Amino acid sequence: MERKSTILMNRYELGRMLGQGTFAKVYHARNLASNQSVAIKVIDKEKVLRVGMIEQIKREISIMRLVRHPNVVQLHEVMASKSKIYFAMEYVRGGELFGRVARGRLKEDPARKYFQQLIGAVDFCHSRGVYHRDLKPENLLVDEHGNLKVSDFGLSALKECQKQDGLLHTTCGTPAYVAPEIINKKGYDGEKADIWSCGVILFVLLAGYLPFQDSNLMEMYRKISKGDVRYPQWFTSDARKILSRLLDPNPNTRITMDKLIEHPWFKKGYKPAVTLGQPHSSNSLKDVQAAFSTEHKDSEGRKIEVPDSPLKPVSLNAFDIISLSKGFDLSGLFEKDQEQKANSRFMTHKPASAIVSKLEQIAENESFKVKMRDGLVKLQGSKEGRKGQLAIDAEIFEVTPSCYVVEVKKTAGDTLEYERFCQKDLRPSLKDICWSAQAEEKLPPLPESSPRTPASKSITRNAI
């Protein structure tokens, strides 16, 4: 039987499905006016509203609008219906760069060409205040002309996401590609972290396997933290030199983007791409605003109540469990002097709503103001202490659907006042739903759904 085509918004004819995720499906489509092939990303609006991912999607759209570059997948337009959000994006025919490397290592010249295009795109993103944070061959596409395209800005950050110390603090990315300072969880420079990932990608292109491999995840992290890499005998001397600068575990001495572009190995045959002009103006973002209008309805037309700051517990994965465990703290590999941490950690089988309810009770009793967002509960004291008002963050992590870790830490005010508050108010109030998970107690075993695939077999495809 002849398949009946689906016409979207009277503009696109949808074709075969290219991929599928938790909240979205991607289809090949044809622009009815221009006959141009595009990729349509279809996002379930109700699902993302329920889990509080609106801001993340808005940020992804904003970033894709900013980075108009020939080596970055372009976003054409954003559309929306009552139940769906649609991204019309550039269709890249050649598939993932991963597929080409999986067939075997590349020779130096084609590897250099891909690397030059990658660096050109990443440098452009950095010039616009955008840090990708999940660079890997699976997120690099190749078009029919053999040109590289950077995709998937879902974990990207903007410069304004930096905290007062000028650093980013969100732990994200794929472990085999992340910089040592991200494992350290003490804050990192987004540009330098991206440069490290680019170095890992270059190694993979030239070698056909990862530079830091081990069936033991902690051993792999140790190798990453020390920059413990062994080069194959077929690597040229110049390739080894540039990789040693890219995979420098010290971000302060790691090669900068400016020096990388001027490096003799990199400059060989380099032709900078001609950019695509200015980013879209704010007027062209009206479609984005329409997609996230204040009134939201489900597929049956019923209104969905969306809180201003939805609380969504952060999913705690194997990467985070290791870094949270005091016995596996890698910060000593990076810092000689460490201040005493003013934080506490608890575990519970109670749902996030019960944890939040308890924190709200404590806040009300102690005249704290409460703000909630994306798994983080902020308590702001109203009284002036020795060092100003006490401020506390309580972050809720989901280990499994029935197990949560709550990390409470002081963000402002006096440490002694914070400790008194914990002893007198916090711990007694939480004792009926939480138990301590400090150094003397072990974290629970990893859930069965957590990735455990050894990184030593070819190139890992999974972000933990």
Angle at 81 between CA 80 and CA 87, to 5 degrees: 30
Which is it for strands 84-90 and 37-44: parallel, antiparallel or unpaired?
Answer: antiparallel
- Per the DSSP assignment, residues forming a β-bridge with 223 are none
H or E segment to which residue 259 belongs: helix 257-261
Question: In whole angstroms, how far apart are CA 419 and each of 210, 338, 410, 424?
Answer: 45, 18, 9, 9
Write the secondary structure of 133-157 as one string of H (helix), E (strand) and C (coil): CCCCHHHEEECCCCCEEECCCCCCE
Q: Which residues of 205-228 are buried (b: 16+ CB within 10 A; e: fewer)?
A: bbbbebbbbbeebeebbbbbbebe
φ, ψ of residue 257 to 5 degrees: the values are: -65, -40
Contact 148, 118 (CB under 8 A): yes
Set 123, 134, 194, 248: catalytic member: 134
- Count H helices, E strands: the chain? 15, 19
Torsion, Cα of 183, 185, 190, 196 (10° steps): -20
Question: Given phi > 0 = left and psi -120 to 50 = alpha, else beta, which region is 191?
Answer: alpha
Between CA 147 and CA 94 the distance in angstroms is 9
- The one-letter amino acid at 301: G
Between CA 22 and CA 343 the distance in angstroms is 33
| 134 is a catalytic site residue | yes
Active site residues: 134
